[in-house]
Amino acid sequence: MVGRLIDMLARKLDMPIWEVMKKNFLSEGKKNALGQTITKSHGDLYQCLDEVKKAVFDTRKPDEDER
């Protein structure tokens, strides 16, 4: 549900979905809804999203005869 709402917002704002997602990330030093401080041990969401973007959106789709 949340993913669909983010997609709809991105379309309405005419922005790539990953740019809308990045705006919602909590960066190191920020607190989450439970009051926990985000640290590097939580991983790098920006790097993770960039890797997903490359794998999903930047990869050439196979032609019909290559499937």
Q: How many CB atoms lie within 10 A of CB 6?
A: 16
* pLDDT for residue 61: 66
Farthest-apart Cα atoms in the chain, separation: 53
- Give every CB contact of residue 26 below 8 A, 6+ residues apart in sequence: 32, 38
pLDDT of residue 37 exceeding 60, the answer is yes
Degrees (nearest 5) of the Cα angle 58, 20, 44? 70
H/E element holding 63?
Answer: none
pLDDT of residue 45 exceeding 90, the answer is no
